[in-house]
Structure 1
């Protein structure tokens, strides 16, 4: 690799290419975050090259198909007409002016941050990185990641953010299934390693995003994302604990929430459920608790909420066991159908879905488990779980053949009247149903 230029001319050239709309953007990770962002940039006339390590995703996109339910083949074809294509070849990094990294940041088996997807992606980019490029990390992570992991990697290769390259952090804020806010409409928080980096990153993103929210540095941007999701995790933990208390007192927590929500100030309603799902809320709080220990801080409040939310699938399974026991049946040998595999209603995203954990816990107890989800026809590949299952059709005969049905995700597509009519036992984790054969969980 030739020695990178130390001149700021390369950044001036980048600024001109961004301003003129002639820049080329590389999106690294074409999942629920990266693909919508790629399509949005293509929509405004920016050429996008998508990178992914999964050849099946790349092949699907390059023939005009989609693997995400809410993104249609027509959406992909429009993007391809605007110059979008996908590749597994990271050497093509030389073709782009900006790399936007949208890869997973899961937890490992010890509930510690696993940044291997981020570091592996950056390490695959760097042999092909050139002066005058901009790198943006969107993956959720602990405050300091951009400064402490990415910037040193660039500097080891001769690239100094703000001098001959740019480095920013701009957290993703996608909400799958939310029809009220598109990628373009969700305000974009961004922090740069230097002021020059921030200006270039803002100029790039504002081509596609209606409102930019610049903050003082990358650490503030990283903390902003964590605060957003910890806020939700803590409040969901609170209402889940309230659900357990209300259940013991024979009080309908959903009725209580509806009543409390009539107060026009000082109360924000949160809904209890079978546990946290999605890639952000179950995981992000642990990124901060892990980093806080470096500063000698124990985040007790956050960790307590995490314990409560982690317990909820076990609570559901116990409610199922109790309900079956009242009908003189054991969990072992019972046929149990879980309704809804996605982590929330009306989408196909199963990341960290509590429904999957419920299925695993029931199977460990000897139950014969199945699932029904119109948005997820086949059980997806997962790191920690494997079920060789397909979605069950909810015919009257099928419904009545199971000893228990669990409403884990309350998709609107379910025929709740048919479920009430034909199910022997319904355990409802979402407060959707009432009836003599319905048990609230």
Structure 2
């Protein structure tokens, strides 16, 4: 059965787009070379931890969404959106291998007049310099003449109920003005506002700026957290006061690490580096170690040693009230504590089984009993179900890395 749209890649980027398209009445094909996502979706189950609910998937299926692993079906759509993952490789550059695989699968079936869009996080120049040659060589068609090619940075914020696909402006940049307008025609069906960039590179650089902006500002406030602790200054009170400034300031808050699917990009191309972004990445990567250092210090101050200490970690996901663990600092913190000889347990209402380097970590069944018996309880993620005042009273020592507990109720990062 032909579809209007093919979403290539059924992960954290592709699924929400497919959901929005199906809700807008667009016949949507979801393609992934991995058979597991398609099988889970066809059975009405979420393939990605913390993504869509089973009821949301059922609504997508009833609205015309169809998952598949057959690349031949990609030749029967008018619009194809590549949502392949681009993780950091060993060289700290974005790994484009999944984007390349998706492009080759599409190119072999690409028809004239199809609109091809890329949403994956990439460096400026990737759509034209990397994706375009694969599509043209595999199809024999020319981008900008035989088919439309454009880039649109994904702006999804998992768990954000205030801003979704419809009410988040969609930035687009095409290889040609006609490509831009073709992309705009598609995105106007799923988004209330479309913002046209000058071209491909400008649209790609939007994603670069937005991701690096987040990481640099988190690094700044993480650095402030370390400084303020050393000076005996309440950073959370500092932030509370600073955010009353009506201009020139946006509040960010420290934590045990950054987490999430977006990676800071400090090197663009073979010879272009962004030293500020690279430094921000180093600062943020040091935060798990700083948390462990604070744990050891607090135990020592109470006459205890990290060796053989019972430590309870609360919240191991990267965002509150979600099951998604992508990039969470919790495994690194747990590993370092274990290396110090501590006995580590955890509690998370969204994670029933947790492993650190293939080693199972015991889950606390009774939260308050576990907090009372642990030598140290550490809040890593503030899920709404946690009564922090009550936990602080029960815990022998309570370290809050999120600044979410009432003032004076716990030790803060």
TMscore range, shorter length: over 0.9
Work out whether residues 292 and 299 of structure 1, in 8 Å CA contact, stay in contact via their aligned partners in 2: no
The 8 Å contact of residues 374 and 391 in structure 1, kept in 2 or not, is answered as no
Residue 180 of structure 1 pairs with residue 155 of structure 2: no
Q: Distance in 2 between matches of 1:374 and 1:234?
A: 30
Task: Name the structure 2 match of 1:205.
Answer: 187
Instruction: Indicate yes or no: 2:175 matched with 1:193.
Output: yes
Q: 2 CA distance for matches of 1:50 and 1:396?
A: 43
Greater alpha carbon shift after TM alignment, 181-190 vs 118-127: 118-127
**d(CA) in 1 for partners of 2:332, 2:33:** 27
Counterpart in 2 of 1:147?
128
Of 212, 226, 245, the residue aligned with 2:208 is 226
Give the length in aligned residue pairs.
410
Quote the Cα distance in structure 1 between the aligned partners of 2:33 and 2:91: 25
5+ long unaligned stretches in structure 2: none
The correspondence for 2:255, drawn from 273, 296, 299, is: 273
Look up the match of 1:412. 384
Q: Does residue 317 of structure 1 match 2:292?
A: yes
Does 2:342 match 1:342? Answer: no
Inter-partner Cα distance in structure 1 for 2:300 and 2:85: 41
How much has 1:74 moved relative to structure 2?
A: 2.4
CA distance in 2 between counterparts of 1:269 and 1:375 reads 27
Q: What runs of 5+ residues in structure 1 fail to find an aligned partner?
A: 1-21
Q: CA deviation at 1:292?
A: 5.3
Length-normalised TM-score, structure 1 = 0.88
Match among 339, 342, 353 for residue 328 of structure 2: 353
Per mean C-alpha deviation after superposition, the further-off stretch among 259-268 and 336-345 is 259-268
1:25 maps to 5
Q: Which residue of 1 aligns with 2:368?
A: 396
Secondary structure class of the residue paired with 2:40? helix
- Does residue 262 (structure 1) correspond to residue 244 (structure 2)? The answer is yes
Q: Is the contact made by 2:3 and 2:76 (CA closer than 8 Å) also made in structure 1? A: no
**Aligned partners of 2:267 and 2:273 also within 8 Å:** no
TM-score (norm 2): 0.93
**8 Å CA contact 2:45, 2:54 repeated in 1:** yes
Q: Is the 8 A contact 2:267 2:274 kept in 1?
A: no
**Matched residue, 1:372:** 347
1:106 corresponds to 2:87: yes
What CA RMSD, in Å, does the superposition of the two structures yield over aligned residues? 2.0
User: Where in structure 1 do 4 or more consecutive aligned residues deviate above 3 Å?
Assistant: 67-70, 384-387, 434-437
Q: Spell out, residue by residue over 1:72-93, the C-alpha distance to the aligned partner (whole angstroms, 9 max, x if none).
A: 3222222212211111222221
Q: Evaluate the alpha carbon distance shift between residue 89 and residue 392 of structure 1 in structure 2; reply closer, same or farther with a 3 A threshold.
A: farther
Q: Is the 8 Å Cα contact of residues 347 and 364 (structure 2) preserved in structure 1? A: yes
Distance of 2:15 and 2:390 partners within structure 1: 37
Residues 431-440 or 98-107, more deviating: 431-440
Asked if the contact 2:12–2:51 (Cα under 8 Å) also holds between the matched residues in 1, the reply is no
Partner of 1:40: 20
Name the residue aligned to 2:36. Answer: 56
After TM superposition, give the deviation of residue 405 of structure 1 in Å. Answer: 1.5
- Corresponding residue number in structure 2 for 1:117: 98
- What is the distance in 2 between the residues matched to 1:430 and 1:439? 10
2:77 corresponds, among 68, 88, 96, to 96
Q: Does 1:423 align with 2:405?
A: no
Partners of 1:137 and 1:106 in 2: how far apart?
15
**What is the Cα deviation at residue 48 of structure 1?**
0.6
The structure-2 alpha-carbon separation of the partners of 1:60 and 1:331, relative to structure 1 and needing over 3 Å to count, comes to same
**8 Å contact kept, 1:161–1:194:** no
